[in-house]
Amino acid sequence: MLRTVAVRAERWPLSTPFRISRGVKTAADVVAVTLVQDGHRGRGEGVPYARYGETIESVLEQVNSLSTELTNGMTRLELASRLGPGAARNAIDCALWDLEARLAGRAVADTLGQPPLHPLVSALTVSLDTPQAMGEAAARMTGATLIKVKVDRKNPAACLEAVRAAAPDAALIVDPNESWTIETLAQLQPVLRDLKVALIEQPLSADEDGDLLGFESCAPICADESCHVAADLPGLKDRYQVVNIKLDKTGGLTEALDLLTEARRMGFGVMVGCMVSSSMSIAPAFHVARHADFVDLDGPTWIADDYAGGAVQRGAELLPPEALWGVPDTATPDGAA
């Protein structure tokens, strides 16, 4: 069972800049892994994230360190014992899922005992800008029923009010990306209540989320940077009500499914999110997102020129990139790496 392994860095320019409290992106920088076995190709993508100490170089190094094992048939279970959660394991794990589907002639949905994927209502993101610009961005989101609003500690109320005025009927997720303090969160409660915010995502730094213990919020609070894998969940009780599952944090679909199961068992709500990425990252996340309370998979909609057959936003719904990943080959197997 010998495979060929290819790993490379890719840059996907964005159609417009994407701003959050920590900075601005003009391109999605990813690591792509391709595994070829018996003429079938499996692919996966990981997004290195500086917040977690990752770079393109470090992720490439992690993947390359396992090239011999991958060539000799490393399984997803073996991968989990050799590499911790993060972008490198995500890219490999998802490539293995894709390869398994193509070798077996059986879609990932079938393997999971699920029907074919279907469109999901996904949040559209208003990136951080002036209140006027954010309101204008929200006004262009025709048909959106769920909008995520990126804010920081500087005048978040005005930004949120501008978005709400432009989108009076959409549910709002507010995402400060760890930029608030508990005092900021408390002071903004009346505004958040008046604007009928549906979810507050990671308002405080992950190392300060003990401040949330016993805090009574007008809307559920979702752990993003504070939640990576299922083992994190016990420490989030009585602080968060919802957890955000991202495959680049869990280290792939395998752990993401385990996190989903354990989160539900422990009574957490579930959000499924993503980094700014191509549709190759989003395709496996759909298999978790179909079970979520909140879906935020609009990363590929920021890409200027995504994969052919990638995810497509139509009004409130995101159509899955069904033929891109995790399905049997329908034509002559493509062995190109």
The identity of residue 17, as a single letter, is P
- So what's the pLDDT on residue 214? 92
For the chain, the three-class secondary structure string (H helix, E strand, C coil) is CCCEEEEEEEEEEEEEEEEECCEEEEEEEEEEEEEEECCEEEEEEECCCHHHCCCHHHHHHHHHCCHHHHHCCCCHHHHHHHCCCCHHHHHHHHHHHHHHHHHHCCCHHHHCCCCCCCCEECCEEECCCCHHHHHHHHHCCCCCCEEEEECCCCCHHHHHHHHHHHCCCCEEEEECCCCECHHHHHHCHHHHHHCCEEEEECCECHHHHHHHCCCCCCCCEEECCCCCCHHHHHHHCCCCCEEEECHHHHCCHHHHHHHHHHHHHCCCEEEECCCCCCHHHHHHHHHHHCCCCEECCCHHHHECCCCCCCCEEECCEEECCCCCCCCCCCCCCCCCC
pLDDT at position 1 is 67
pLDDT digits (tens, 9 = 90+) for 143-186: 999 999 999 999 999 999 999 999 999 999 999 999 999 999 99
Give the mean pLDDT of 30-55: 97
Chain segment 232-267, per-residue pLDDT in tens: 999 999 999 999 999 999 999 999 999 999 999 999
25 is catalytic: no
The CATH 3.20.20.120 portion of the chain extends over: 120-319
Distance (Å, rounded) from C-alpha 292 to C-alpha 271? 5
249 is catalytic: no
Among candidate residues 150, 196, 237, 249, the one labeled active-site is 150
Calculate ∠ Cα 48-51-53, nearest 5°.
Answer: 65
pLDDT at 100: 97
CATH class of 120-319: alpha beta
User: Quick check: 336 pLDDT over 50?
Assistant: no
**Are the CB atoms for 56 and 48 separated by under 8 Å?**
yes
Distance CA 228, CA 262 (A): 12
Give the CATH fold of the 4-107 domain. Enolase-like; domain 1 (3.30.390)
Amino acid identity, position 274: C
For residue 317, which amino acid is it?
A: E
Parts of the chain belonging to CATH 3.30.390.10: 4-107
Q: Is the pLDDT of residue 285 over 80?
A: yes
If you average pLDDT over every residue of the chain, what do you get?
95
- Choosing from 25, 154, 237, 246, the catalytic residue is 246
pTM of the entire structure?
A: 0.95
CB within 8 Å of 329: residues ≥ 6 apart: 40, 102, 105
Amino acid code (one letter) for 33: V
